[in-house]
């Protein structure tokens, strides 16, 4: 169950961090300007980002072909890239003039909407996938664990973004702009790689030279999240290296001590960012390795036919666990089948393969039978019945203390193991 939890938790956490950390830094910059003239624009754009990403996710889920996921995300990335470059050029020299203020409003709003549309669709599709995998059975332990994993990952991602926002807000403007510039460049590179990848898939751009350059980047996309973590670490490092506030002219010692105490208090946000980073780095490294660890199939017990039947003693399968067997057909194909006691005198007997995922097989995890390929948990009561990701049923009969399967049926089953 821990593996199931992490498989939902880690992607949700990483998408949450990649969404909220850049937006948190941007909001901290917009808060620096008087009268919070850009703060309202940010929050309105965020609401639109949520609504637009939800709408297109619903359309994508409901119609499948009406919305191209790659096309939608590529457009959202393109808008974000353009706006990020504009803000990098305008923000450092902004001095309050209305013309530049209008540019900042429009660019920041489009950046927020585009950024949320890109990461938002990825986030919203996660619970959709969990619901689809449940195949209508929502009151199961598997569905609960996956849902809790998704919710926990989103919470950690949002908490990290909030901590980064508070720590960034404690920086002076020059240091904050430095952090924003580094973060913006990192995002531009990461999103630019994805954009080029989509263009290559669509065959709009290509060539051997480009493929040679992009190949290693695509193969190591997993490392992108650690680049995000590294940029996030820059926030507390910059905060802790910031000189203490100078004593204002005319301030008495008590007032200055109060200023120093407030500055020291703000350092706690940096500690919070570091603590969250420790958790996230651990989850994205050790946790990810555990979550993606492939379960090995238990070796099958070889069996042979006598008098036209393969016989398995009932005493061998009485424990309620998954038992795997292999039969070698006349043309040399190895046919695997499984037997599990469902309760009482009922047994689930089927091929170690399904119509959907093929002969990848089933594993036993936390006392449950799970498809090795798609990670769907089988309802033990339905094993031996056709449909879905269930093992392909095998006819059997109980006779003389044995489960007997006809050699003819096993010979026919070889088509599933080619």
- Distance of alpha carbon 293 from alpha carbon 7, whole angstroms: 10
Q: Please, which pLDDT band fits residue 69 given cuts at 50, 70 and 90?
A: low
Mean pLDDT calculated for residue range 6-14:
90
Q: What percent of the chain has pLDDT over 90?
A: 23
Pick 133 or 225 by higher pLDDT: 225
267 to 27, 164, 170, 261, 360: CA distances (angstroms): 19, 12, 8, 10, 52
What pLDDT shows up at residue 268?
Answer: 92
Q: pLDDT at position 162, please?
A: 95
Place of tokens 């990483």: 14
The residue behind tokens 């703000």 is 266
DSSP for 107-161 reads HHHHHHHHHHHHHHHHHHHHHHHHHHHHTT--SSHHHHHHHHHHHHHHHHHHHHH
Query: Which among 342, 337, 350 has a CA at the least distance from the CA of 393?
Result: 350
Instruction: Report the DSSP beta bridge partners of residue 369.
Output: 364
Mean pLDDT, residues 147-151 taken together: 93
Average of per-residue pLDDT across 330-352: 87
Kindly report the number of other CB atoms within 10 A of residue 91's CB atom: 24
Half-sphere exposure of residue 30: CA atoms within 13 angstroms, side-chain side: 27
Residue 135: per-residue pLDDT: 64
The yes-or-no verdict on residue 187 having pLDDT over 90 is no
Residue 323 per-residue DSSP state: E
What's the pLDDT score for residue 295? 61
3-state class (DSSP) for residue 393:
strand
> Given a cut of 90, is residue 161 above it in pLDDT?
yes
The residues spanned by each domain of the chain are 2-291, 301-417
Which pLDDT score is estimated for 96?
76
Please, what is the average pLDDT of the chain?
Answer: 84
Structure tokens at 240: 């802790």
**Of the candidate ranges 39-48, 180-189, 381-390, the one whose mean pLDDT is the lowest:** 381-390
Name 168's Cβ contacts closer than 8 Å, sequence gap at least 6. 24, 25, 28, 29, 176, 179, 235
Containing 59, the helix (H) or strand (E) segment is helix 39-63
Q: Determine the 3-state secondary structure of 362 from DSSP.
A: strand
- 28: tokens are 């901290």
Contact yes or no for 273/236 (Cβ under 8 A) = yes
pLDDT tens-digit readout, 280-303 = 999 999 988 888 776 666 788 898
Tell me the pLDDT band of 363, cut-offs 50, 70 and 90: confident
Q: Is the pLDDT at 366 greater than 70, yes or no? A: no
- The pair of structure tokens assigned to 299 is 């070796």
* Most confident region among 1-10, 35-44, 229-238 by mean pLDDT: 229-238
Q: What does the pLDDT read at residue 36?
A: 61
Joined together, the tokens standing for residue 237 give: 């490092």
Rg of the chain (C-alpha set) = 29
Q: What is the pLDDT of residue 35?
A: 62
pLDDT in tens, 100-114: 888 999 999 999 999
Of residues 324 and 195, the one with the higher pLDDT is 324
Bridging pattern class, strands 301-303 and 323-328: parallel
Mean pLDDT is highest, among 61-70, 183-192, 345-354, for 345-354
The CATH class that applies to domain 301-417 reads mainly beta
- The pLDDT of residue 172 is above 80: yes
How many CB atoms sit inside 10 A of residue 101's CB? 17
The pLDDT tens digits for 235-259 are 999 989 888 887 777 777 888 788 8
């Amino acid at each position: 169950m821990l593996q199931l939890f992490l498989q939902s938790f880690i992607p949700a956490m990483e998408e949450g961090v990649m969404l909220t950390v850049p937006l948190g830094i941007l909001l901290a910059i917009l808060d620096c300007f008087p009268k919070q003239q850009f703060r309202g624009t940010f929050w309105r754009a965020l609401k639109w980002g949520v609504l637009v990403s939800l709408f297109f996710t619903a359309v994508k889920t409901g119609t499948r072909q009406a919305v191209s996921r790659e096309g939608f995300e590529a457009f959202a990335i393109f808008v974000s890239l353009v706006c990020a470059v504009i803000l990098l050029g305008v923000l450092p020299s902004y001095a309050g003039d209305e013309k530049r203020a209008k540019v900042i409003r429009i660019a920041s709003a489009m950046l927020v909407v585009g950024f949320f549309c890109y990461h938002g669709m990825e986030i919203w599709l996660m619970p959709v996938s969990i619901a689809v995998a449940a195949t209508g059975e929502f009151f199961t332990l598997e569905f609960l664990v996956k849902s809790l994993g998704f919710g926990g990952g989103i919470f950690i991602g949002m908490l990290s973004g909030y901590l980064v926002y508070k720590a960034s807000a404690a920086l002076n403007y020059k240091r904050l702009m430095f952090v924003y510039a580094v973060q913006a460049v990192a995002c531009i590179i990461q999103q630019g790689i994805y954009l080029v990848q989509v263009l290559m898939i669509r065959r709009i751009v290509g060539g051997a030279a480009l493929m040679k350059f992009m190949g290693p980047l695509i193969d190591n996309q997993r490392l992108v999240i650690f680049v995000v973590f590294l940029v996030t670490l820059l926030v507390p490092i910059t905060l802790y290296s910031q000189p203490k506030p100078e004593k204002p002219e005319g301030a008495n010692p008590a007032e200055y001590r109060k200023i120093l105490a407030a500055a020291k208090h703000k350092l706690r946000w940096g500690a919070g960012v570091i603590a969250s980073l420790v958790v996230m780095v651990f989850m994205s490294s050790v946790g990810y390795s555990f979550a993606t660890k492939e379960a090995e199939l238990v070796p099958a017990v070889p069996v042979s036919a006598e008098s036209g039947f393969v016989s398995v003693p009932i005493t061998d399968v009485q424990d309620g666990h998954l038992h795997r067997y292999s039969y070698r057909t006349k043309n040399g194909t190895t046919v695997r089948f499984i037997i599990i006691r469902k309760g009482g005198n009922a047994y689930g007997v089927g091929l170690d393969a399904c119509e959907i995922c093929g002969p990848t097989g089933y594993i036993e995890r936390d006392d449950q039978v799970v498809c090795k390929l798609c990670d769907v948990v089988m309802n033990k009561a339905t094993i031996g019945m056709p449909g879905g990701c269930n093992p392909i049923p095998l006819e059997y009969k109980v006779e003389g203390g044995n489960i007997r399967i006809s050699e003819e049926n096993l010979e026919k089953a070889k088509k599933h193991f080619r």
